[in-house]
């Protein structure tokens, strides 16, 4: 039996434009680093080795809640000591809470001899995601767990997750330093959708999945737009429309709000284009006087994974 493990848990894109709560994509960076020890002392003890002042009470910590949900299914007494270094800034819109929850349950599973399937781990991680965003959406958890491009077909309960290999793509993300809480960004959404709009949206979802499966970049480019959720959230992210326009002019295939924001993502065919697109989006926030970070990297083929084991 292992004594301790070190886990890397990557950032993820959710929604991917048109696929609200359903589509997701794993990134390679940034990622959270989680070191965990199995203990005979029941319960979960959490320390953060970063400067984000996240709660350490396991009942109020995303990783803690996910681990407590997992431990309820473990008959023998077991507990975990957990040290988390957040490489993904909380509230940035690239799946920070999902990375904590997924990384923690992946580490716990390794320490317990891999007794749970990934689908069971998704269920535990969802309990953690609920704490962060007030909703059991699995669109960040799925790519965080399985890697690649993921489709969550069933929402409650989450029983169908399909992970597909994505074609070679480079992702540019700009994170303007403004606060957009997922719970607030969900509150502005329409309760009902006109049928015509819904048809356009699910046509795009189908087109996007087909584009990923066939590596048809032109189809991916035509299919990313979100006609329902992004228009409702536009006012939450100053500079979004201009960032999109400059990104497209710089060669991006397309993109939109990353999750519930405030980050904006763009998909690109080459690293050089992604770098230019990241710079083009950043220039908008520089002009607005809003501090920002940019990330450029390839799509991640792996989700959270154990990178070091100690017996």
Task: Give the binding range for ligand HSE (CB under 6 A) out of 116-124, 135-143, 244-252, 268-276.
Answer: 135-143
- CA dist 184 to 13, 101, 249, 291, Å? 19, 21, 31, 22
Collapse the DSSP code of 29 into the 3-class scheme (helix H, G, I; strand E, B; otherwise coil) and give the result: strand
- Tell me: does residue 175 bind ligand HSE (CB under 6 A): no
Please identify which of the residues 129, 230, 273, 294 carries the catalytic annotation: 129
Task: Give the binding range for ligand HSE (CB under 6 A) out of 14-22, 52-60, 199-207, 291-299.
Answer: 14-22
Nearer Cβ to ligand HSE, position 38 or 233?
A: 233
Please identify which of the residues 12, 150, 182, 294 carries the catalytic annotation: 182
Whether 237 and 178 have beta carbons less than 8 Å apart is answered as yes
Whether 294 and 279 have beta carbons less than 8 Å apart is answered as yes
How far apart are the C-alpha atoms of 235 and 232, rounded to whole Å? 7
Q: How far is CA 101 from the centre of its chain?
A: 11
- Told to judge if 162 belongs to the known catalytic residues of this protein, a careful annotator would answer no
- Tell me: does residue 137 bind ligand HSE (CB under 6 A): yes
- Told to judge if 129 belongs to the known catalytic residues of this protein, a careful annotator would answer yes
Collapse the DSSP code of 144 into the 3-class scheme (helix H, G, I; strand E, B; otherwise coil) and give the result: helix
- Tell me: does residue 14 bind ligand HSE (CB under 6 A): yes
How far apart are the C-alpha atoms of 10 and 50, rounded to whole Å? 16
DSSP state letters, 4-21 = EEEEEEEEEEESTTT-TT
Q: Which of residues 15-34 bind ligand HSE (CB under 6 A)?
A: 15, 20-21
Nearer Cβ to ligand HSE, position 95 or 110?
A: 95
Collapse the DSSP code of 15 into the 3-class scheme (helix H, G, I; strand E, B; otherwise coil) and give the result: coil
Tell me the two tokens of residue 239: 């500079």
# binding residues, ligand HSE (CB under 6 A): 13
Nearer Cβ to ligand HSE, position 64 or 259?
A: 259
- Tell me: does residue 182 bind ligand HSE (CB under 6 A): yes
Query: x-or-dash pattern for ligand HSE, window 232-261, by CB under 6 A?
Result: ---------------------------xx-
Q: Which residues would be at the binding site for ligand HSE (CB under 6 A)?
A: 14-15, 20-21, 133, 137, 139-140, 182, 185-186, 259-260
């Amino acid at each position: 039996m292992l004594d301790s493990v070190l886990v890397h848990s990557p950032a993820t894109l959710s929604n991917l434009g048109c696929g609200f709560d359903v589509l997701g994509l794993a990134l390679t960076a940034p990622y959270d680093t989680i070191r965990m020890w199995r203990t005979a002392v029941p319960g979960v003890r959490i320390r953060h080795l970063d400067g984000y002042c996240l709660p350490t009470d396991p009942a109020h910590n995303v990783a803690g809640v996910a681990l407590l949900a997992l431990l309820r299914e473990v008959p023998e007494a077991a507990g975990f000591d957990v040290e988390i270094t957040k490489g993904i800034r909380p509230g940035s819109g690239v799946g920070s809470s999902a990375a904590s929850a997924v990384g923690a349950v992946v580490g716990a599973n390794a320490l317990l001899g891999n007794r749970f399937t990934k689908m069971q781990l998704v269920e535990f991680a969802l309990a953690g995601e609920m704490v962060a965003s007030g909703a059991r959406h699995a669109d960040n958890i799925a790519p965080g767990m399985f890697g690649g491009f993921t489709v969550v077909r069933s929402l409650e309960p989450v029983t169908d997750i399909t992970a597909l290999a994505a074609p070679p793509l480079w992702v540019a993300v700009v994170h303007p330093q403004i606060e957009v809480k997922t719970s607030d960004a969900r509150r502005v959404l329409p309760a009902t959708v006109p049928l015509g709009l819904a048809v356009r949206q699910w046509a795009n979802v189908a087109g996007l999945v087909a584009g990923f499966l066939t590596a048809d970049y032109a189809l991916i480019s035509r299919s990313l737009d979100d006609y329902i959720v992004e228009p409702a959230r536009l006012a939450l992210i100053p500079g979004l429309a201009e960032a999109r326009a400059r990104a497209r002019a710089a060669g991006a295939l397309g993109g939109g709000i990353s999750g519930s924001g405030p980050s904006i993502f763009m998909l690109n065919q080459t690293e050089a284009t992604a770098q230019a697109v990241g710079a083009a989006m950043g220039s908008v926030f520089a002009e607005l006087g809003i501090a920002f970070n940019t990330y450029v990297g390839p799509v991640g083929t792996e989700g959270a994974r154990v990178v070091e084991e100690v017996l």
